Amino acid sequence: MNLTVQSGNISVGPAQPAGQQINNIYLVNSNESFSVSVKPIDSVTQLPLGHVQWGTWRWTSNVTLYTLPSFNRQGFLVTNGSSRTNANLTAVAVTITNLGINGTGMFMLNICLSSSNNQYNIMVLSSAILVANDKSIIATDPQGFSSNITSQGNFDALNASNQLEITRALLYNYLLSIGMPLISDMILVKGGSSTIVALFEVDPLPSNVATAVSTLLSNPNAVSSLTFVSVNINTRSYSVPDSSSNNTNSSGDSGSNNLPIILEVTIPVGTALVAAIAAIIAYVVYTKLAAANSVAPMANAASLSTSNVELIQHQPFSFTASSAHPLNVHVTTLFNPSPSTATQPYLIPIQ
């Protein structure tokens, strides 16, 4: 039995290559020279092409700094006469040499490869590059990072849409903009089904860490695609406050309620309890001492007379009336509740 199958017309056009960076540059010094390499791939299958060059044409390149949606750092791309675009036929890749970035922070490169016959154009967005004044003091091993930020976000969706590196650069530059003293690179890892965890290291000495944390918690949606949930800086944990708990006060002044509330979950509860008990004990002791050293309230001065004084006298007790001030009684001894010698005379007015 012979079967014949006839298909419809199939259109076959020229290949549409795309590109993929193959040597990710993660950390360089400001103005340090580096090279980037791009491997041409098939835009449909994402598989590498068998050749990097056909015929006699060559690749030319145009490299610029990528403009992030926000939190762009000041800086510019450094190129010089020694920059070259080289096609490596063995590695099937195109390398752009002797590039540099003048500035500090996290940057990305827009790489455009064009064939000299104007048939092919490949656009590639590089990985995020951390540029430092001195990369030797920048921590790069995530195993030693003691700080992290947990955010609501879809890690898989960002990765599939090539937005993960953009998000990493945005978050890093945002932390720099609020004064967080970062001393490391940053990596993003998948926390759960809907969380993303950023790992990094913070200098424990600067005093502006608290201000940076307060700013971060007051605006949990500062970075697009992320919503901050919790923050851990140098093993000290903070939680983003619930916005529904910020109610206006009785005077109607809601301005103070907009201040960020930082919840330090590492403060020992026992310490606060001991302090409260100590305050109560101190108050009780104070009130008893005050009562023991005070004079009992006297009767209305209008009802006092010499007979009243005689009724409460206790030896030694005496009173004299001055001719110059016949309405004052000079008391030399008081007792309350038992006889005690007064430290100074007391004048009791009598009317």
Tell me the sheet residues that pair with 348.
Answer: 329
pTM of the model: 0.67
Lowest mean pLDDT among 101-110, 318-327, 334-343: 334-343
Query: Could you give the domains of the chain?
Result: 17-137 (2.60.40), 142-245+258-264 (3.30.70), 301-349 (no CATH)
Instruction: Give the DSSP H/E element, type plus range, for residue 276.
Output: helix 269-292
User: What CA–CA distance (Å, rounded) separates 235 from 120?
Assistant: 51
Give first-to-last CA distance, the chain, whole Å. Answer: 140
Residue 225 has a pLDDT of 93
268-292: per-residue pLDDT in tens? 444 444 455 555 555 554 455 544 5
Of 199, 196, 158, 202, the C-alpha closest to 178 is 202
Judge contact between 34 and 77, C-beta under 8 A: no
Q: How many separate helices (H) and strands (E) can be counted in the chain?
A: 5, 20
> What average pLDDT does range 143-151 have in this prediction?
94
* Mean pLDDT score, 161-186: 97
The Cα-based distances of 77 to 37, 103, 114, 128 in angstroms read: 17, 9, 20, 14
pLDDT in tens, 241-278: 775 544 433 333 433 334 344 444 433 444 444 455 55
Using CB atoms within 10 Å of the CB of residue 292, give its burial: 0 to 12 exposed, 13 to 18 middle, 19+ buried: exposed
Task: Tell me the two tokens of residue 234.
Answer: 């140098």
Structure tokens at 233: 């800086």
Single-letter amino acid code for the residue at 304: L
Q: Six-digit token pair at 189?
A: 């890892």
**CB contact at 8 A, 103 and 73:** yes
Distance CA 113, CA 40 (A): 10
Encoding tokens for residue 11? 């259109």
